[in-house]
Amino acid sequence: NDPSKKISFTRFIRDQDLVIVYERHDTMKAVKVCEGSILQNRFGVFKHAEWIGKPFGTKVFSNRGGFVYLLAPTPELWTLVLSHRTQILYIADISLVIMYLEIVPGCVVLESGTGSGSLTTSLARAVAPTGHVYTFDFHELRAASAREDFEKMGLSSLATVAVRDIQGQGFPDAYSGMADSVFLDLPQPWLAIPSAGKMLKQDGILCSFSPCIEQVQRSCETLKSNFTDIRTFEILLRTYEVQEGKLDGGCRGDEGVPLGALPCKRRQRSSEGSNVPENSSSTVVMARPCSEAKGHTGYLTFARLKCIS
């Protein structure tokens, strides 16, 4: 529990720290600071030595006057930069998982599979400083890579990775009745649900992520015997680019006019009773769906263990 290893917004960057080098919202990468190393990108050459001792969030300059920001490796940023060894959960789903699993500091959480560790990183922060995440994957290499990542981020005291076939063997008996919540991201979650039920404390909550509705239906059938409050959610994200701009002439549906611009009628009404001529160019707020908006990722099914009175 070395406090100097914890992610912090106020701490200063040290040799061997992991930093997120931010160029723009869609161009970031994780870099381990090494005193003698350099980072070279389209903005020039950056010396790591010049980063050491600066607080996270600092803007640093290259030999050519270009700049990047050095950000702390928060779970949100980590999810955007990690190397994808599997499909991963993104932050919209992750936030719902943490909220509906009622995860708070001190909780014990079981997870399978670990995958690329995207969810695990956020779970670990949510249970800190006294709780723990035990995460299982049957793929040895993935488990080892996730373990290395958690080490790099200083999360080893909060997340333990183990190799195990959870669908075939279930969770280890050692965790029976100890988990506040269990999260499953497995191809056949219904095979692991009976074991997950045994791991949960009375009133504990389970969540299962599945990309198709047929898997959800099958899981719900299995959940019915020991769980209650079964609910399935699908999060659909739509991001808008919002800009201010000038709109000239009439309303056109062509490329010259952003699709989400305020409709003509409204613009006309706003000029009624004023001395602004209808056809003059005016400043409008324009919004159009962003091309990088993520659509369906999967369904999240939550269920609470039935109380045995």
Looking at beta carbons only, is 21 or 207 nearer to ligand SAM? 207
Categorise residue 160: left if φ over 0, alpha if ψ from -120 to 50, beta otherwise: beta
> Residue 187 CB, nearest distance to ligand SAM (Å)?
6
Cis amide leading into 75 (omega within 30): no
CB atoms within 10 A of CB 48: 21
Give 87 or 232: the residue with its C-beta nearer to ligand SAM. 87
- State the minimum distance, in angstroms, from the CB of residue 123 to ligand SAM: 10
Q: Measured from the CB atom, is 71 or 94 closer to ligand SAM?
A: 94
Whichever of 205 and 261 has its CB closer to ligand SAM, that residue is 205
Measured from the CB atom, the residue of 168 and 277 that comes closer to ligand SAM is: 168
Q: Given the rule CB under 6 A, which residues bind ligand SAM?
A: 86-89, 112-113, 115-119, 136-139, 142, 165-168, 185-187
Sheet order of strands, 159-163 included = 159-163, 132-137, 108-112, 179-184, 200-210, 299-305, 227-234
**Cα–Cα–Cα angle for 8, 39, 66, rounded to 5 degrees:** 90
Q: Which helix (H) or strand (E) covers residue 166, if one does?
A: helix 166-169
Report in angstroms how near the CB of residue 165 gets to ligand SAM at its nearest.
5
H helices present in 20-133, as ranges: 75-81, 91-100, 118-127
Around Cβ 265, how many Cβ atoms within 10 Å? 9
Shortest CB 253 distance to ligand SAM, Å = 40
Strand boundaries in 72-185, DSSP class E: 108-112, 132-137, 159-163, 179-184
Smallest distance, ligand SAM to C-beta of residue 131, A = 18
DSSP secondary structure code for residue 108 in this structure:
E
Q: Return the number of the residue (118 or 181) whose C-beta is nearest ligand SAM.
A: 118
Question: For residue 28, what are its two tokens?
Answer: 């970031």
- Gap between the Cα atoms of 76 and 97, Å rounded: 14
Tokens of 22: 């931010």
Shortest distance (Å) from residue 86 CB to ligand SAM:
4
Q: Is the peptide bond before 277 cis (omega within 30 degrees of 0)?
A: no
CB of 16 to ligand SAM, least distance (A): 25
